[in-house]
Structure 1
Amino acid sequence: MSMVTLPGLQEMIDGISRERNLPKHAVQAALREALLKGYERYRRTHRPDTSIFDEEYFNNFEVELDIEDEGFRVLATKAIVETVDNPDHQIALEEVQEVAPEAQLGDTVVLDVTPDQNEFGRMAAIQTKQVLAQKLRDQQRKLVQEEFQDLEGTVLPQARVLRFERQSVIMAVSSGFGQPEVEAELLKRDQLPNDNYRANAVFKVLLKRVSEGSHRGPQLLVSRADAGLVVDLFANEVPEIEDEIVRIVAVAREANPPSRSVGPRTKIAVDTLERDVDPVGACIGARGSRIQAVVNELRGEKIDVIRWSPDPATYIANALSPARVDEVRLVDPESRQAHVLVPEDQLSLAIGKEGQNVRLAARLTGWKIDIKDTAKYDYEAENQKIAELAEQRRLAEEAAAAKRAEEEALEEEYDEEDDDEALEVEEAVETEAAIAPAADPETDAPAEEDAVDDLADDEPAALAEDELEDDAVAEDEADLAAELDEEDLDDDLDEEDLDEEDLDKEDLDEEDLDEDDDKA
């Protein structure tokens, strides 16, 4: 069997494996795919008509590496046929039986189609090198995907700064002790303003996402600004959280405030089902030792630990800590709006610098919070507004209910009309079926004879009908003539009447003359 030699094949595989933190079998798989692409390039350059080389043309070819002899072979699986149409995919039975007499039509055989060492060519070698680099990257991404997929949302304790790319920090992370390091990207929005990202500095980061696909750049995205990092840090520092005695209910974090004059801050709400356990004290620790460890890791970020409560008013008052609250009024529970009354000297503390404290409290509780001065709060006016708001909501609900009822009534009406139409159609179908004469199988046999007799009887009947029609036409003509005579007679009578009227007029004229003579 022929072979294309690759001097230093073993050393090349070992070097790539060490450099890219890939197992040797993954490097060998990538090399086989790259050499097969190089063979495809070799075949295309040695055949003028390349139109036959579609995407699946070389699926029956494979590359076999010979590590000991430092080379490779190209093997092709061909089908045994009587007449060969495609020599790359088929081989004649007669040719195979010369070396394998037991071969039959339809069987397959693997043949060595390795090109000559000198024929492989420079272009094929370049193609192999390019494909190898791409396949190695694909192998790396696949291994990273498998290694870190289950670690999304967890903290990686040892993230080491490697370099800077634009505004991002490229860090080296590993999935565990003794595992190879993989590059991860820390975007600008995920960085903390108090961090100093110098070379080889080590941080704890949260693994946000493991990217898929073949895009350029690191495959792992990490964060220092995610609220999940605070939760994980407290879970590591507070045994009661890990033992599920204390639970973290909600977290609101502003790691990158809109203004540089305001530092990062976090509010965390905790609770417990144990009566003899103080959840806030458990998170703070003796002399603040536990919370101080979290603050140090976050480079001095302010952290407020407050007690969660099922009562919204109490929960809101606790969330505004360290401010002292006089009263919390839930003015609109449906839209979750609350008025918080505080003394005048607590206004700035409750609102916080540039509104940060009340903003975080609102995000933590899920309520819209309005801070009010207790001394200036107008209860009567506010109660009037609350009543008007309640009335508007009641009217809106009634209108919505009426609209829904109307729509439901229309739908029911349409359904009834559809049912009536369907019933009418069914009744019409049943009526037609009842009117249509049922076919009698006994009368089907003499049907042709009856048809012949009817045809014979129809001829004199048709003649009689023609004679009747002629008589009817003659009668109609006679009636028409009689009507015309009557009309003429009527006209004559009308003329006679007119003559008589004229005579009467003459008599009247004569009488008038006689009267005139008498008067004279």
Structure 2
Amino acid sequence: MSMVSLRGLKELIDKISAERNLPKSAVQSALREALLKGYERYRRTQNLDKRHFDEEYFENFEVELDTEEEGFRVLATKTIVEEVTNSDHEIALEQVQEVAPEAALGDTVVLDVTPEQTEFGRMAAIQTKQVLSQKLRDQQRKLVAEEFQELEGTVLQARVLRFERQSVIMAVNSGFGQSEVEADLPKREQLPNDNYRANATFKVFLKKVREGPARGPQLLVSRAAAGLVVYLFANEVPEIEDEVVRIVAVAREANPPSRHVGPRTKIAVDTLERDVDPVGACIGARGSRIQVVVNELRGEKIDVIRWSPDPSTYISNALSPARVDEVRLVNPDARQAHVLVAEDQLSLAIGKEGQNVRLAARLTGWKIDIKDIAKYDYEAEARNIAAAAAQRQAEEEALSALADDDEEFEEFETPASQHDWQDDLDEEDEVDEVNQAQTTEV
């Protein structure tokens, strides 16, 4: 069998494998695909009979690497036919039977179609090099996806590499002994108080592993995700790790809409143990535990509140540190509530530029209206609530009546009704037959 010589093939595969942290089998697979593309380019340039090559034309061709003799061969699988119409895909039965008398029509054979060393051509070699680079990148992306797919939603240690536009390119790894992989920390996922300098280390939340041929790092990491806060508390509070205390909900505003408002997080915790204080467990003695989390988040303000199955209590707790006098659930179905506070608690309950009440609403899932209790008109609000309730009831009754009408209409067109109509038609036919018979007798 002929062979195109590739000097230093074995050393080349070892070098690429080490530099790109790819297994040798993956490098060889990429090299075979690249050489096949180079052979396609060679055939297209040598197309003297102007044959049409579509995308599927070379599917029956493959490249065989020989690392010992340092070269490659091109093999083609051809079908045995009586008369050849395409020499790239077919071979004559008579020609095969000269070597293998037992061959029959419809069988396939593998033939060596390797070009001569000098015929492969400079353009084919350039094509091979370009395709090899692309195939190696594809192999790397595939391995990265497989390595980090199961780590989505977890926290990794990252190191700052460089800056691209407004993004920070970081190096992360999936575990001890693994090589570093580039990750993208876009502007919207950064913290305003972070100081991103070269080689600085941060804990980051792996949000997504991108797939496909997109350029740049395929790992998307975040410092602004709520999952990072959950991880930091779980790592610092043994009661959370032991599942004595559970985190019920988190509302985080790491990048406030205004630069005059700092980042802030509200976290709701609960426990089934009577002798355990979930809020105290998260805060720690003299605030030691929560301070570790605050330091990692560069001074971000964190409110730890007690979750409650009672919506009024939960909403009241969520508006901490404001003191709430009363919570009125004006529309439980639409999850709307009025929160009554004293005049001196209004600004505290609302928060700077509405941040406190905004986070409380996201944490509880209720629409919260802060009201001054001194100016709150109970009678007027009660009338409004009653009117709204009456309107909702009227709408529900109207919808119910409409549904009943639809059901009656469906019952009217039941098979039984159709059967009655058919009986009537049958009786009319019988009458017509009797009348016709009487007319005939006359």
Using the size of structure 1 for normalisation, the TM-score is 0.79
Give the whole-Å Cα distance in 2 for the aligned partners of 1:128 and 1:48.
22
Which residue in 1 is equivalent to 2:182? 183
Which residue in 2 is equivalent to 1:405? 401
1:365-402 per-residue CA deviation (whole Å, 9 max, x = no partner) reads 1222233333x233xx3332222332232134224313
- Call closer, same or farther: CA 1:357–1:35 in 2, change over 3 Å: same
Give the whole-Å Cα distance in 2 for the aligned partners of 1:431 and 1:171.
88
Give the whole-Å Cα distance in 1 for the aligned partners of 2:98 and 2:405.
88
Secondary structure of 2:119's partner?
coil
- Ranges in structure 1 where 5+ consecutive residues have no aligned partner: 437-520
Q: Which amino acid aligns with 1:368?
A: K
Which residue in 2 is equivalent to 1:116? 116
Which residue in 2 is equivalent to 1:213? 212
> Which one of 420, 424, 446 corresponds to residue 421 of structure 2?
424
Identify the range of structure 1 (89-98 vs 45-54) with the bigger mean alpha-carbon deviation: 45-54
Aligned pairs for 1:156-167 (under 5 A) are 156=156, 158-167=157-166
Contact 2:33/2:132 (<8 A) preserved? yes
- Call closer, same or farther: CA 1:410–1:331 in 2, change over 3 Å: closer
Q: How many residues align?
A: 432
2:38 maps to 1:55 = no
Structure number with bigger Rg: 1
- Call closer, same or farther: CA 1:324–1:73 in 2, change over 3 Å: same
Give the whole-Å Cα distance in 2 for the aligned partners of 1:432 and 1:11.
97
Which residue in 2 is equivalent to 1:361? 360
Aligned pairs for 1:287-436 (under 5 A) are 287-374=286-373, 376-378=374-376, 381-413=377-409, 415-417=411-413, 419=415, 420-421=417-418, 423-425=420-422, 428=425
Using the size of structure 2 for normalisation, the TM-score is 0.92
Give the whole-Å Cα distance in 2 for the aligned partners of 1:351 and 1:50.
77
Which residue in 2 is equivalent to 1:444? none
Aligned pairs for 1:13-52 (under 5 A) are 13-52=13-52
Give the whole-Å Cα distance in 1 for the aligned partners of 2:392 and 2:339.
27
Which residue in 1 is equivalent to 2:73? 73
Give the whole-Å Cα distance in 1 for the aligned partners of 2:378 and 2:343.
19
Contact 2:330/2:385 (<8 A) preserved? no
Contact 2:269/2:307 (<8 A) preserved? yes
Give the whole-Å Cα distance in 2 for the aligned partners of 1:336 and 1:90.
73
- Call closer, same or farther: CA 1:142–1:433 in 2, change over 3 Å: farther
- What is the Cα deviation at residue 97 of structure 1? 2.5
Aligned pairs for 1:73-152 (under 5 A) are 73-152=73-152
- Call closer, same or farther: CA 1:28–1:434 in 2, change over 3 Å: farther
Higher relative contact order (CA 8 A, sep 6+): 2
Identify the range of structure 1 (12-21 vs 239-248) with the bigger mean alpha-carbon deviation: 12-21
1:198-228 per-residue CA deviation (whole Å, 9 max, x = no partner) reads 1111111111111111111111111000111
Which residue in 2 is equivalent to 1:9? 9
1:20-48 per-residue CA deviation (whole Å, 9 max, x = no partner) reads 22111111101100100111111111114
- Call closer, same or farther: CA 1:341–1:77 in 2, change over 3 Å: same
- Ranges in structure 2 where 5+ consecutive residues have no aligned partner: 434-442
Give the whole-Å Cα distance in 2 for the aligned partners of 1:167 and 1:151.
25
Secondary structure of 1:251's partner?
strand
Give the aligned CA root-mean-square deviation in angstroms.
2.2
Q: Which amino acid aligns with 1:228?
A: G
Secondary structure of 1:398's partner?
helix
Contact 1:332/1:386 (<8 A) preserved? no
From the two aligned structures, give the one with the greater helix fraction: 1
- What is the Cα deviation at residue 142 of structure 1? 1.1
- What is the Cα deviation at residue 195 of structure 1? 0.6
Secondary structure of 2:65's partner?
strand
Identity value in percent: 76
- What is the Cα deviation at residue 277 of structure 1? 0.8
Which residue in 1 is equivalent to 2:440? none
- What is the Cα deviation at residue 186 of structure 1? 0.6
- Call closer, same or farther: CA 1:214–1:57 in 2, change over 3 Å: same
Secondary structure of 1:109's partner?
strand
- What is the Cα deviation at residue 425 of structure 1? 4.1
- What is the Cα deviation at residue 233 of structure 1? 1.1
Secondary structure of 1:95's partner?
helix
Which residue in 2 is equivalent to 1:507? none
